[in-house]
Amino acid sequence: RRRGGGGGESGEAAAPRSSSSAAMASCPARSGGRGQQRRGAPSRTAAGGGVSRRRGRCPASWAVVLAVFSCYSLVNAFQWIQYSILSNVFAGFYGVSFTQIDWLSMVYMVAYVPLILPATWLLDARGLRLTALLGAGLNALGAWLKCGSLAPQRYPLTLAAQAVCAVAQVFILGLPSRIASVWFGPTEVSTACAVAVLGNQLGTAIGFLLPPVLVPNTPNDIDLMAHNISIMFYGTAIVSTLLFFLAGVVFEEKPKYPPSHSQAVLQTKPPEDYSYKQSIINLFRNIPFILLLISYGIMTGAFYSVSTLLNQMIVTHYEGEEVNAGRIGLTLVVAGMVGSIICGLWLDYTKTYKQTTLIVYILSFIGLLVFTFTLDLGYLIVVFVTGGVLGFFMTGYLPLGFEFAVEITYPESEGTSSGLLNASAQIFGIIFTLVQGKLTTDYSPRAGNIFLCAWIFVGIILTALIKSDLRRHNVNSGIMNLDVKAVPVDSPVEPESTTLKIQSAL
Residue 32 has a pLDDT of 39
Return d(Cα 404, Cα 289) in angstroms, integer. Answer: 9
Residue 126: other Cβ atoms inside 10 A: 17
Residue 216 has a pLDDT of 87
Residue 217: other Cβ atoms inside 10 A: 17
Return d(Cα 423, Cα 416) in angstroms, integer. Answer: 10
Angle at which helices 128-146 and 155-170 cross, to 10°: 170
Whole-angstrom CA distances from 165 to 109, 130, 169 are 11, 17, 6
**Do you find a cis peptide bond into 411, omega within 30 degrees of 0?**
yes
- Domains of the chain plus CATH, in order, are 59-261 (1.20.1250.20), 275-469 (1.20.1250.20)
Return d(Cα 15, Cα 502) in angstroms, integer. Answer: 15
Q: How many residues appear in the chain?
A: 506
Return d(Cα 215, Cα 89) in angstroms, integer. Answer: 8
Check: CB of residue 383 under 8 Å from CB of residue 138. Answer: no
What 3 state SS string does 61-113 have?
A: HHHHHHHHHHHHHHHHHHHHHCCHHHHHHHHHHHCCCHHHHHHHHHHHHHHHH
Contact partners, residue 69, CB within 8 Å, separation at least 6: 132, 175, 176, 179, 196, 199, 247, 251
**Chain center to CA of 114:** 18
Residue 247 has a pLDDT of 87
Residue 154: other Cβ atoms inside 10 A: 16
Return d(Cα 243, Cα 254) in angstroms, integer. Answer: 20
Return d(Cα 24, Cα 183) in angstroms, integer. Answer: 9
Check: CB of residue 491 under 8 Å from CB of residue 498. Answer: yes
Question: CB burial class (10 A; 0-12, 13-18, 19+) of residue 53?
Answer: middle
Residue 419 has a pLDDT of 78
Half-sphere exposure of 136 (CA within 13 A, CB side): 26
In terms of C-beta distances under 8 Å and separation of at least 24 residues, what long-range contacts does 383-387 make, across chains too?
A: 383/314, 383/318, 383/328, 384/327, 384/328, 384/331, 387/328, 387/329, 387/331, 387/332, 387/335
In terms of C-beta distances under 8 Å and separation of at least 24 residues, what long-range contacts does 137-140 make, across chains too?
A: 137/168, 137/244, 138/164, 138/165, 138/167, 138/168, 138/171, 139/72, 139/75, 139/76, 139/79, 139/165, 139/168, 139/172, 139/240, 139/243, 139/244, 140/237, 140/240, 140/241, 140/243, 140/244
Q: How far apart are the first and last CA of the chain?
A: 15
Averaged pLDDT, groups of 10, the chain, 506 residues long: 38 35 33 39 37 40 77 91 87 88 87 84 81 92 93 91 93 77 68 75 85 86 90 94 90 64 58 66 86 92 88 85 83 84 78 85 93 89 91 83 80 75 87 90 91 95 83 60 38 38 38
Sequence-ordered strand ranges (E) for 218-374 = none
List % helix, strand, coil for the chain (3-state, nearest 5): 70, 5, 30
Residue 235: other Cβ atoms inside 10 A: 13
* DSSP bridge partners of 484: 502
Look up residue 10 and give its amino acid.
S
Look up residue 235 and give its amino acid.
G
Q: What is the DSSP letter of 17?
A: P
* Phi, psi (rounded to 5 degrees) for 315: -70, -15
